[in-house]
Amino acid sequence: MNRQSLMAGRRLFSKVRVVRKPSTLANELGSLYEHNQPIFEPPSPEKKVSALDYAFSLKSPVSTWTKEQLREIYNTPLMELVHRAQIYHRNFHNPSEVQICNLVNIKSGGCTEDCKYCSQSVNNDTNLKAEKLMTVDEVVEQAKIAKSNGATRVCLGAAYRTVSTRKRALERITTMVKEVNKLGLESCVTLGMIEEEHARKLKDAGLTAYNHNIDTSREHYPNIITTRTYDDRLKTIDNVQKAGISACTGGILGLGETVEDHIGFLYTLCTMKQHPESLPINRLVPIKGTPIADELARDNSKKLKFESMLRTIATARMVMPTSIIRLAAGRYTMKETEQFLCFMAGCNAIFSGKKMLTTMCNGFDEDKELLAKWGMKPMQSFASKRPSSIVETCHI
């Protein structure tokens, strides 16, 4: 073919209009499905749903958890676990709000229990002297200070094995509760074991919550306390709830327990017919003269790792979505970044003030500065009433 013929052919081809149907994703997908060639493999009905995905799908709390499910959630890769816990938390709570609580030690020392971690036990050599029950006026003054610093809940703690055998003390504490309520504050007490009839007296006085911790797992519990059984504690919680009072119950991490004990601890709480209204998570502060402090000094491997604490909080949020998770004792020993991660994992309440019973506490001014730095604000009084199910709008 000579050069002139080649050029003529090219000119002829250029005049021919080639029409091609535009390609669209819908057309291509349609073609693929026509030939039964999906671009992804749809999940089969038989495929097992992970425990984390199951928890994430729930719109209200359930009490049918198994230890296997808790173990699976707890052992989720940490980044994914905390991320999912934060998203799920936003379905039930305002992520920018934190409840500030204040704990008042209204009767210190002299407790006959043998809790191996406690400075107030007469069985431990901590040189803590027993004190008399505070007056109503003293409590009111403390509550006013707490309120002026943004606290919306005041918890009154007395070192009693049981308040049910202390009629006069109970009468005075009932008056304290009434006076705290008059200030527009939520009231909480922690007074040891209590019978239902005495709990009802506190309910009639307007008590918001009764704190009684289970401390740890059922299995590890006998290693920590022998003067009160695990079931004694559960009975008190049941008495409180039957009286119509919200239960505030959690535990202490760092008692020489294992990861399996963290799972057992959560299992007890999340399988209760009614989940705790609030769940305090305490980080052990070893106190000189207590058996647990001596044990941890001898065996450094038993000390709590922060990752374990973070996993416990995140797992608690996934299985008890409506509970207020309170970062309680030991927070002052934590770095700012560690506290931040705890809030990312689902915590939404703190204790603030001078002391947590007999240990140090982050001060009001320090916490105000911290929350402002993070763009968070104090929760309004009585706004912590937990939702019964998922809120309509997710707080993103």
Single out the catalytic residue among 84, 101, 153, 155. Answer: 155
| Catalytic (active site) residue 326 | yes
Single out the catalytic residue among 101, 153, 188, 347. Answer: 188
The answer to whether the CB of 82 falls within 8 A of the CB of 314 is yes
| Catalytic (active site) residue 331 | no
The answer to whether the CB of 117 falls within 8 A of the CB of 357 is no
How far apart are alpha carbons 392 and 174 in whole angstroms?
38
Closest CA to 178 of 189, 168, 167: 189
The answer to whether the CB of 245 falls within 8 A of the CB of 198 is no
Single out the catalytic residue among 115, 270, 347, 361. Answer: 115
| Catalytic (active site) residue 101 | no
Single out the catalytic residue among 101, 166, 233, 248. Answer: 248
Single out the catalytic residue among 118, 342, 347, 361. Answer: 118
Say if residue 115 carries a ligand binding annotation: yes
| Catalytic (active site) residue 342 | no
Closest CA to 316 of 270, 255, 365, 259: 270
| Catalytic (active site) residue 115 | yes
The answer to whether the CB of 187 falls within 8 A of the CB of 180 is yes
The answer to whether the CB of 120 falls within 8 A of the CB of 157 is no
| Catalytic (active site) residue 270 | no
Closest CA to 342 of 369, 368, 365, 376: 376
Single out the catalytic residue among 84, 153, 228, 326. Answer: 326
| Catalytic (active site) residue 228 | no
Q: Which residues contact 320 (CB under 8 A, 6 or more apart)?
A: 61, 269, 270, 275, 276, 279
Say if residue 118 carries a ligand binding annotation: yes
Which residues are catalytic, by number?
111, 115, 118, 155, 188, 248, 326
Summarize the annotated binding site as residue ranges. 111, 115, 118, 155, 188, 248, 326
Summarize the annotated binding site for [4Fe-4S] cluster as residue ranges. 111, 115, 118
Summarize the annotated binding site for [2Fe-2S] cluster as residue ranges. 155, 188, 248, 326
